[in-house]
Amino acid sequence: MTLGSRRRIEESVFKVLMIGSTAVVVSSLLLILGTVIVKSLPALRLSMLFQTPKGGYYLGKEGGILNAILGSLYLAGGATLFAVAASLPVVLYLNLYARASSPLSTITRFALDVLWGVPSIVYGAFGFIVMMTLGLRASLLAGMITVGLLEIPIMARAMDEVVRLVPRPLLDASSALGATRLETALRVAVRQALPGIITAVLIAFGRGIGDAASVLFTAGFTDSVPTSLLRPAATLPLAIFFQLGSPVPEVQQRAYASAAILTLIVLAVSLASRELARRLRKHTIR
Amino acid sequence: MRQLKDLIARRAMFLMTGLPALIVLLMLAGLLRKSGPILAVHSFSSLLFGTGWHPLRGEFGFLPFLAGTLGVTLMAMVIAVPVSLLTAVYLSEYAPKLVRDVTKPVIDLLAGIPSVVFGVWGVLMVVPFVGNVVAPLFGAASSGYCVLSGGIVLAIMVFPTIIHVSLEVFGAVSQDLRDTSLALGATRWETVKHVVLRRGLPGIIAAVVLGVSRAFGETIAVLMVVGNVAKVPASPFDAAYPLPALIANNYGEMMSVPLYDSALMLAALILLLVVLAFGVGARIILVKAERKAE
């Protein structure tokens, strides 16, 4: 009897701990979103979205962070295109051409795992070395390359997971009808895995746009909207970081507002990818 | 024509597939080359265990930064591992479908929050909370910019990684094993403890290792809340200065002081080597576990 009740007590103690932990995890997201949005309200104006910093902006005068919003969108957009161009062929080759146990597949998948864990500050340092080697200065292009490299493992691993799930019989059917492997890859595998591929691309874009440490060395910062690949570009994470470091309270509040804007962009991308994936799933064969 | 296209595409994709491994090698080679100048002047061990950091005097001791990184990472894991594992067990073994369907997207969203936003939140909430509430509770004086704050922010950042991998691990434990245990009269928790956790142990270790390597190199969020004082922290309420923060804070001046850039590249190399070691370790554990399971 005592043994039985002890077992029951242990069961309920752990159940309480588990529910508590889950509550902690869920509430930390709500707490972060809530705090950032509430704190940003006093400074959040439309003018922040549509103006570049004017003279004295960093002392609390007029202006906005259009330079950083556009800079981040350009930078992450370019980086994502670069990462797609690098990731999709790798994933298709791994799943449709190479044998699963070949040394090349093993090494490549392992390299992707390692790269996935490499801290973004290391990408920043590496991007800096690449930039110096190519004779570039801190610029939109150097930032795109660095963030693109950072996005490759995120995107490739996510794509690999979905392309791997394309049913074998579907691919065999395509080959049996006389399609070459390339035709099978592009018209059957990519189409079947499209919802997952799009999710992978958008996840990588979200990570790219939010990363600060990798662009610190490579993209520079400027108050104007970038007009050339070879000129420095402002980014939202750095705009937040710099504004928060200001002693002027108005500027700090704008840092909160900028953080809210970045968060909303990332959440919108994440929700859009869900919705898009759901819609595209209609066109896949189950 | 179609065959030719296929052949060209095949060759091109084959070459592209070497890219990830090439990036890893180039990263190692590039950082090694750039940290060459400082390794030529100082020995590796004197750099690792030196405590003085005075770039202008040519003194580069990494110990305070290594200690800072270890302290913050350890603190983060002490918080994150139990919370994440309990959450994963709950979601996989106990939670009703509705709770699961609501919680999983929340965890995905948490994973997507940019680190600078975690940093802003840390400054707004965690730092004052630690400085005004937690530190006085333990009779310590602290500004709040300290190891504990860094650990709390980092812990929340690695929740999604550990939970995600653990959920996959628990999902792979066969239902038959659970049913057998339950049929023998074990309670649910006993089944979790003796069957699910034991079976999933290698996977859990891999999940934790992934979490550690994630926490280890996190830069901006930690830098914003940890205080950045180049001293070995003696308590969780002391400020610390982790390696990634060192690199990020000094990129501006590193080109103007001799050997400074080389020292920072060495810091990046150390981070890369540690992550590489963790990656290999996690892989070995998983491969061994798979062999055992077969």
Reported ipTM: 0.89
| pLDDT band at residue A56 using 50, 70 and 90 as cut-offs | low
> Which member of A114, A203, A237 has the closest CB to residue B116?
A237
Q: What is the pLDDT of residue B235?
A: 84
Average pLDDT, chain B: 87
In a domain, A174, yes or no: yes
Name the nearest CA neighbour of A87 among A218, A213, A200.
Answer: A200
- Is A3 within a domain? no
Residue A151 Cα distances to A83, A112, B273, angstroms: 6, 11, 20
* Overall average pLDDT of the A241-245 stretch: 85
Per mean pLDDT, which range of A78-92, A120-134, A219-233 is the poorest? A219-233
Residues of B in contact with A28 (CB under 8 A): 110, 156, 159
Q: Given an 8 Å threshold on Cβ–Cβ distance, is A36 in contact with B117? A: yes
Give the pLDDT band (50/70/90) at residue B51: confident
Does A256 map to a domain?
A: yes
Which of A195, A194, A196, A238 is closest to A75 using CA atoms?
A: A238
Q: Do A115 and B20 touch (CB under 8 A)?
A: yes
Question: pLDDT (tens digit, 9 = 90+) per residue, B156-171?
Answer: 999 999 999 899 888 8
**Cα B278 from Cα A26, distance rounded (Å):** 28
Residue A262 lies in a domain: yes
Q: How confident is the model at residue A2 (pLDDT cuts 50, 70, 90)?
A: low
B153 has a pLDDT exceeding 90: yes
Q: Which residue has the tokens 């150390």?
A: B270
- The residue to which tokens 């077969």 are assigned: B294
Read off the pLDDT of each residue in A177-182 and give the average, rounded to a whole number: 82
Question: Is A2 domain-assigned?
Answer: no
Q: Output the pLDDT for position A19.
A: 92
Q: Residue B8's pLDDT is what?
A: 85
For residue B205, count CB atoms less than 10 angstroms from its CB and return exposed for 0-12, middle for 13-18, buried for 19 or more: middle
Q: Which B-chain residues 208-267 have CB contacts (< 8 A) with chain A?
A: 210, 213-214, 216-220, 224, 244, 247-248, 251, 264-265
**Which domain range does residue A199 map to?**
66-283
Q: Is A121 close to B248, i.e. CB distance below 8 A?
A: yes
pLDDT at B46 over 70: yes
Mutate to test the interface with B, among A12, A26, A28 (most CBs of B within 10 A): A28
CATH assignment of B68-293? 1.10.3720.10
CATH number at residue A71: 1.10.3720.10
Q: Is residue A54 part of a domain?
A: no
Here the tokens at position A99 are 């044998």
Cα(A79)–Cα(A147) distance, integer angstroms: 6
**Residue A262: what pLDDT?**
92
pLDDT tens column, A155-169: 999 999 888 888 888
How many CB atoms are located within 10 Å of the residue B253 CB?
Answer: 11
Which of B4, B120, B209 to mutate: most A Cβ within 10 Å?
Answer: B120
Query: For residue A1, what pLDDT is reported?
Result: 46
**What average pLDDT does this structure show over A251-267?**
89
Residues of chain A contacting residue B250, judged by C-beta atoms under 8 Å apart: none
Q: What one-letter code names the amino acid at A127?
A: G
Q: Is the pLDDT of residue A286 over 70?
A: no
Strands B59-60 and B53-54: antiparallel
- Band of the pLDDT at B122, cuts 50, 70, 90? very high
Q: How many structural domains is chain A composed of?
A: 1
Chain A: closest CA distance from residue B126 (Å): 10
Please tell me the distance in Å from A86's CA to the nearest CA on chain B. 7
List the alpha helices (DSSP H) in A41-119. 46-50, 66-92, 103-117
